[in-house]
Amino acid sequence: MVKYMLLVAIPLLHILQISAQDMPYMPHGEDWKNKISGQYGHLEGIALFEDGTFLLYGYATLVYGTYVREAAHLNFTTNKSDTLSVFAHCNPASLGKSTMVFSGFEESDNFVQFDDEQPKRVFNENANCFDSPFVYVSPIIPSMVKIFSVSDREDTKAYTWLFSNAQQEFNEFFFMHRPPKPEYEDFFGQFFKDEDGKLNIQLSNYGGEKGYKRAFDSVENEEWNEIVAIKQQVSQAYDYQGDYFVNAAYATFAEVDLSQYVYQESSNAYIKSNQEDYGAYGEQNRYNDDRVLRKLERISLSAGTAAALSEDNTLAGSLFYTTCEEPEKSYKSPQATMDRYDPVLPAPTTIPPVPITDKAEPRKASSR
């Protein structure tokens, strides 16, 4: 398995300097991508593919994108996800209240506002020792929700997104926040051959002045095949336009084969037809239990104007409180507080299922 170490960002002031003993190199011809494809670096580095895509990798870092040739260097364009995505569901069993799952809100300063209330922090300041998933149960079904995000703690402005639930048709919400990160900024690079004639690449954002030496070209071997498999998974995740589902433990699923399920209107859920051989499987693997799934709908968001937040116009406290210093007062995930797991498995109706054949997200429903 390829292990990835922490990438250390070393700004080069957008100037790439090659030492005197190294020879600048830029391939030419129609097959120029074939000449430079391969893995550069080892525990951290970049992989270039013949189809014009790349993976920049390191500890907790996996950036996918495309590259093009420009004179004596390459321009790298990263694939960027939406900063905020919201999905929703109507759960007939939750009357007069709503459930909200927050993912990716641990970093930066993030606030949420329901209806006409003042904004409130999602997490307490200096939060740590996180125990996901973060599930908040509200005594109301909001008609309007606004999210505030301050990516820089020194910034006094918050970026905002809002959506309407005026008819209160949804009572389960899933907020996915992906704060901007430096590694997702576009960058460039250039090649050189060292004194041993080995091909190297120097990047404007990572790798320092030495850059990364090509470990091997795009030949089939165990390590390269693994990188190609990771690239396929990442590209499919970016391209995925299908439906998402969630189970009782708030784990999300994609590419669900609904031909194995029947839809039950009374619970607005999909029930797996064949539940034989599960036995204690659901009890021991609650996070991966796909016997009962609820379909999520993507909510259309409107970008609001930047807002200034202060103690005067925000509520005290936070939705979640977690700190290593006070574990007894800190939030515990539903899994941690659940002594046993017994998902509701009502008798399914005979409404015809609808199969899905879209591309996969990393998590898939089991074929049990």
CB 141 within 8 A of CB 115: no
Rounded to the nearest 10°, the torsion over CA 349, 353, 359, 365 is 30
**Six token digits for residue 94:** 């939750």
| Closest by CA position to 67, among listed 84, 54, 83 | 54
> Distance (Å, rounded) from C-alpha 213 to C-alpha 46?
10
What lies within 8 Å, CB to CB, of 319 at 6+ separation is 102, 112, 120, 121, 122, 123, 134, 136
pLDDT band at 181 (very low <50, low <70, confident <90, very high): confident
Select the more confidently predicted residue: 180 or 124.
124
| Closest by CA position to 55, among listed 218, 220, 179, 254 | 218
Residues 344-358 pLDDT 10s: 444 333 333 333 333
pLDDT average, residue stretch 11-18? 43
pLDDT band at 207 (very low <50, low <70, confident <90, very high): confident
pLDDT at 109 over 90: no
pLDDT at 366 over 60: no
pLDDT band at 283 (very low <50, low <70, confident <90, very high): low
CB 226 within 8 A of CB 242: no
Select the more confidently predicted residue: 207 or 34.
34
pLDDT at 37 over 80: yes
Alpha helices in 54-183 (DSSP H): none
Secondary structure of residue 347 in the 3-state scheme: coil
So what's the pLDDT on residue 341?
Answer: 39
Give pTM, 2 decimals. 0.75
Residues 227-277 pLDDT 10s: 999 999 998 888 888 899 999 889 999 889 999 999 999 999 999 988 766
CB 76 within 8 A of CB 186: yes
What lies within 8 Å, CB to CB, of 153 at 6+ separation is 108, 109
